[in-house]
Structure 1
Amino acid sequence: MRYEEESKKIIELVGGKSNINSLVHCATRLRFSLKNTKKADKESLEKLPYVMSVVNSGGQYQVVIGSKVPDYYAAIQSLANLNEDAPKTEKKLSFNYVFEVISGAFSPLIPAMAGSGMIKAVLTILVEMKLLADTSSTYMVLSAASNAIFYFLPVFLGITLTKKIGGNMYVGGVIGAALLEPSFTGMIGQEKLDFLGINLNVVDYATTIFPIFVAIFIYSFVDKLLRKIIFRDLQLFAVPMFSLMIMVPLTALLFGPFGTVIGDALSQGVMWLIGKSALLSGIVLGGGMPFMVMFGLHWGFSPITLENLTVMGGDPIEGMAVAAVFAQIGIAIGFYLKSKKHSKMKALAGPLALTGLFAGVTEPIVYGLILRYKRLLPIVAISGAIGGAICGVTGVTMNAYVFHNIFSIPVYTPKVGYFIGVGSALIAGAVLTYFFGVKEDEMTDFLPETDQGEDDFQETTDERPTPATSTSETIVYAPLEGTVIPLKEVDDDVFSSEIAGKGVAIIPSDNKVVAPFDGTVVAIFPSKHAIGLKSKGGSELLIHIGINTVNLNGEHFETKVEMGDTITRGQTLLVFDREKIEQAGYAMTSPVILTDGPSMETMNIINTTESVTPETKLFVVGTGLEEAHK
């Protein structure tokens, strides 16, 4: 009952049930997504005895609770009727919401797109070095691996978009897949086609984006409507059936051709502009191409480009648009240089820049960076426009149909204009991004990994931490072999400020965690990266292996005990592969903290700046401090 009463107060002070979009939690924090953070009363929240701190950062309103956060999370979920699987909360259609949807749809696809792009880069290198023929079966197999994500983009977007804005995400995927089904694609190029007497113009929707975005947006409303009017017992098959029967024809008849018409109109308009002013057309193509890529409209230029190559031997459109590619690469480089070692952004921006440089694939940069950080929108436009203007004025043309990357340099003329144009775009993108690309409150992913986004953990009891009942001291030995650093040097406010508890951090030199005292296992994280212990004297200890290693989902970790087990000092509790964890980009700094108040009040840290082993006394709790130093 106490959690329910206290949770009611938290709900009230964050603005009430109606102000909560969603709620998740990590080891110590309730992470609210609020409709309006101004409705939350930070001062009153921090005065609650069971709230340690309140942090508004990274789009989340974080209420720091401590080790009992799962109990409050469960109570708030129940009281506020929050359900992670429920349809997404409707949001007002706005510029910010549109880009939030686009970014949210592509974010899950970034690893696949980046990996596929790197395969393209490797294949390009092998072909250029004459180590692999682009007609060989080996090349074809690897090319399939690199092209699949882009070719079937309507399918993947159908899934991720539906998950983002509502509906059954697999039905959304089927809507995209229908446009690529052989019976449908077999009609491409045929004349006098119709659907129920309505004229049908079938085009190639592989790699397109705009049609599926429109289709899924409409489908989200169709799905809701059908669920309202169809009897519940029939919804399992009837809602998907009617959804597909409505949406696939509508997409083929209306949404797809509409996107194609827009693309063709843009192409023709650009060719007219090139004839009028090379400078202005360079600015438009260099600065505007990334925005056309966002909606798949850049493919509308392909027919004109191919015709220009055939008739004129060179294409000025791609000769100017190449600057946009290098402007985007510059953005990735700028973020890579700005981010700290072992940060999420360092791990993301580096591969994205290489993918762009070696393969000319910049969609992951667009969807993973530019749409995520809105300051990059004007930066990519300005940087691309600068390079595009230079390429336009100097008359750069592309003389063969290739991806824009460093291996395609021989197909551009004149070389001087090309190098100055793309070099200016890249440098401008990198410099502007480094200095102006991100707000201070958006720097979380640029800093060394913290425990943000951690999973929940299980506990053996619903009761609050009990104070130490013994007057004798509890000596806490080092649970890891390695080097001790002060807790304040851990790059996480909750740990370094000692809000979550007092203690130290250890940079391990070995691959196992041992029991630091005799006691009981009271908490084990599903991700196996952390473990909670309770000594015989009542002191509660949290051992957190690495920073943000929860994201590994248990990979490279193996627990040797179970919740509720009785442990003896020196017993192996957990083993991990330190080298593989570090190779995955995670810092191994491991906080070791006391989490119950009475123990924190009577603790004395013994070692803070020296190497330790499991035989080293780390700190002592309770009486008998002088004896513990002996």
Structure 2
Amino acid sequence: MNHHELAQQIVDRVGGPTNVIKVIHCITRLRFFLKDETIADTEAINELKGVMSVVKSGGQYQVVIGSQVGAVYSEVIEILGEKFTGEETSAKEEVQVTEKKKNVFNRFLETLTGTITPVIGPLAAAGILKGILALLTIFKLITAESGAYLLLNALADALFYFFPILLGFSAGKKLKTKPYIPAIIGAALVHPTVVAQIANVDLDFFGIPVVLMNYASSVFPVLVAAWLCSYVEKWLNKKLPSATQLILTPLFTMIVVGVLTFLLIGPVITFLSGQLATVVFWIYNLSPMITGFILGGFWQILVIFGLHWGMLPISIGNFMANGHDPLLAILAVSIFCQLGAALGMLIKTKDPIQKEIAAGATISAMFGVTEPTLYGICLKFKRVLWFSILGGGIGGAIMGAMNAEAYGVAGGVFSLFGGINPAGIDHSFYAMLISFVVAVFGTAALVFIFGYEKRKKKGEM
């Protein structure tokens, strides 16, 4: 792939620099904010070699590239200029044009996407490291008392314990507020002296009772705090003299939002998120097998429309609070089946172009990135899509029936490490292995045996 050539072709076909307000990217997609989407030549973009699909969602014009999106994005910025990255504070035009296109739900999903996507990679890396440590101790290659274990475990645990800090920084960047203030508030939530006072029922703030909770590994309180920071900061910048804004704006933002987070936001959001998790897991417990079949089979359909971001924080929040989560275990299977679909296509097809697409999709799916399979194969060949739904559904049902839990957040083949209980290998790891075999090789076998295209009847053209 010639990254510069592809970038130039995409920019030309979305209407040129004059039609672009901002462009960002996630794991597989270029996300354009356009002044007028009707100018963009979607059909021509879809036909470009290196483009898998175009998705219009939440005021964004999304061009699906796959694993090489970072390189293409760099070339796009080279063509457009740095001002189109949206890092500058003067984003009024973007707000005026795009916010009109978005409803509250779309804005919520976009914020979650932009906040959580940057930490997914480190989250997965920490989960894999914890799985490796568990294996090393199980097979007595190291002991829990050794210096090697101490250092590696600190690296693996740091992200989970200090998650509010990283999430605060990420949310601050996404919400276009100074990210260090939400990060500081996140740090205050897990400050050792605060944690030490959790059991103190007599604590107050100038006479106002303070209900402290354990916010280590929490997700939602700091997200709400970051959202509030974005409004307080803008209001202060309008009211304060420009000469004082450098110091006074962060000072007042930190005090106002920080205190509100401890007194109100933290306790209320923690309670509400707990109730939401209770409802979700009440549904799951009605029939783990049926829930497993539905999530394992159809989760990737939500990925296509970007709706998976609405549920993912619930599972991550539950995982952070308890150290394990059954839904994340089932969602791993939804990636396994896409790996199986790509692998089956790679083995079955004789078309050199499809084989090239399938090879890239197989490698991407092994690392947990499924968009190349979804857009490059499943949406083009509906038979493969249904095979992947069946394979993922059966694998998910197995996970549910065996009450499997995920002890790490990882994607692709690395999800197998997530099935390892730090206390020792148990039913979750065996369920993960069985589901892996069923979802990957079962889906691949279906594609290989029955083919990826509907066979034409005799006489059909």
> Which structure 1 residue ranges, 5 or more long, are not aligned?
1-9, 25-30, 43-55, 62-68, 306-317, 353-364, 435-630
Q: 1:425 to 1:87 in 2, by over 3 A?
A: farther
Question: Higher helix share goes to which structure?
Answer: 2
Aligned-pair CA distance for 1:423: 5.2
Q: 1:163 to 1:271 in 2, by over 3 A?
A: closer
Question: Is the 1:157–1:173 Cα contact (8 Å) retained in structure 2?
Answer: yes
Computed over aligned residues only, the root mean square deviation of the Cα atoms, in angstroms, reads 5.4
Question: Is the 2:340–2:388 Cα contact (8 Å) retained in structure 1?
Answer: no
Q: 1:379 to 1:259 in 2, by over 3 A?
A: farther
Question: Is the 1:263–1:299 Cα contact (8 Å) retained in structure 2?
Answer: no
Q: Which amino acid aligns with 2:177?
A: G
Q: 1:401 to 1:330 in 2, by over 3 A?
A: closer
Q: 1:418 to 1:249 in 2, by over 3 A?
A: same
Cross-structure match for 2:366: 350
Aligned-pair CA distance for 1:212: 1.9
Q: Which among 194, 204, 207 is matched to residue 197 of structure 1?
A: 207
Question: Higher strand share goes to which structure?
Answer: 1
Cross-structure match for 2:37: 37
Aligned-pair CA distance for 1:172: 2.6
- Correspondence 1:297 to 2:313: no
Q: Which among 164, 167, 170 is matched to residue 174 of structure 2?
A: 164
Q: 1:290 to 1:242 in 2, by over 3 A?
A: closer
Cross-structure match for 1:127: 137
Cross-structure match for 2:250: 240
Aligned-pair CA distance for 1:140: 1.4
Question: Is the 1:324–1:388 Cα contact (8 Å) retained in structure 2?
Answer: yes
Provide, for residues 247-298 of structure 1, a one-character-per-residue CA deviation record: whole Å limited to 9, x for no partner: 1122223332234223433455467667765655666887899965424432
Aligned-pair CA distance for 1:238: 0.7
Question: Is the 2:127–2:407 Cα contact (8 Å) retained in structure 1?
Answer: no
**TM-score when normalising by structure 1:** 0.45
Cross-structure match for 2:426: 411
Q: What are the residue-to-residue correspondences of 1:10-25 with 2, within 5 Å? A: 14=15, 20-22=20-22
Cross-structure match for 1:464: none
Aligned-pair CA distance for 1:341: 8.4
Aligned-pair CA distance for 1:245: 0.8
- Partners of 1:70 and 1:260 lie apart in 2 by 40
Provide, for residues 425-461 of structure 1, a one-character-per-residue CA deviation record: whole Å limited to 9, x for no partner: 6678989999xxxxxxxxxxxxxxxxxxxxxxxxxxx
Q: Which amino acid aligns with 1:59?
A: Q
Aligned-pair CA distance for 1:402: 5.2
> Which structure 2 residue ranges, 5 or more long, are not aligned?
1-10, 25-30, 43-52, 55-60, 65-75, 300-307, 347-354, 380-385, 409-416, 449-461
Question: Is the 1:33–1:60 Cα contact (8 Å) retained in structure 2?
Answer: no
Question: Is the 1:335–1:345 Cα contact (8 Å) retained in structure 2?
Answer: no
Cross-structure match for 2:73: none
**TM-score when normalising by structure 2:** 0.59
How many equivalent pairs are there?
361
Question: Is the 1:134–1:140 Cα contact (8 Å) retained in structure 2?
Answer: yes
Provide, for residues 437-486 of structure 1, a one-character-per-residue CA deviation record: whole Å limited to 9, x for no partner: xxxxxxxxxxxxxxxxxxxxxxxxxxxxxxxxxxxxxxxxxxxxxxxxxx
Q: Which among 329, 332, 335 is matched to residue 326 of structure 1?
A: 332
Question: Is the 2:338–2:370 Cα contact (8 Å) retained in structure 1?
Answer: no
The residue matched to 2:140 in structure 1 has which SS?
A: coil
Q: Which amino acid aligns with 1:37?
A: E
- Partners of 2:236 and 2:122 lie apart in 1 by 34
Q: Which structure exhibits the higher relative contact order, with contacts defined as CA atoms closer than 8 Å and separated by 6 or more residues?
A: 2
Structure with max Cα Rg: 1
Aligned-pair CA distance for 1:159: 1.7
Q: Which amino acid aligns with 1:265?
A: Q
Aligned-pair CA distance for 1:242: 0.9
- Partners of 1:345 and 1:167 lie apart in 2 by 37
Q: Which amino acid aligns with 1:21?
A: I
- Partners of 1:274 and 1:423 lie apart in 2 by 24
- Partners of 1:124 and 1:85 lie apart in 2 by 44
- Partners of 1:127 and 1:429 lie apart in 2 by 34
Aligned-pair CA distance for 1:166: 0.9
Cross-structure match for 2:62: 59
The residue matched to 1:192 in structure 2 has which SS?
A: coil
The range that moved more, 154-163 or 381-390, is 381-390
The residue matched to 1:59 in structure 2 has which SS?
A: strand
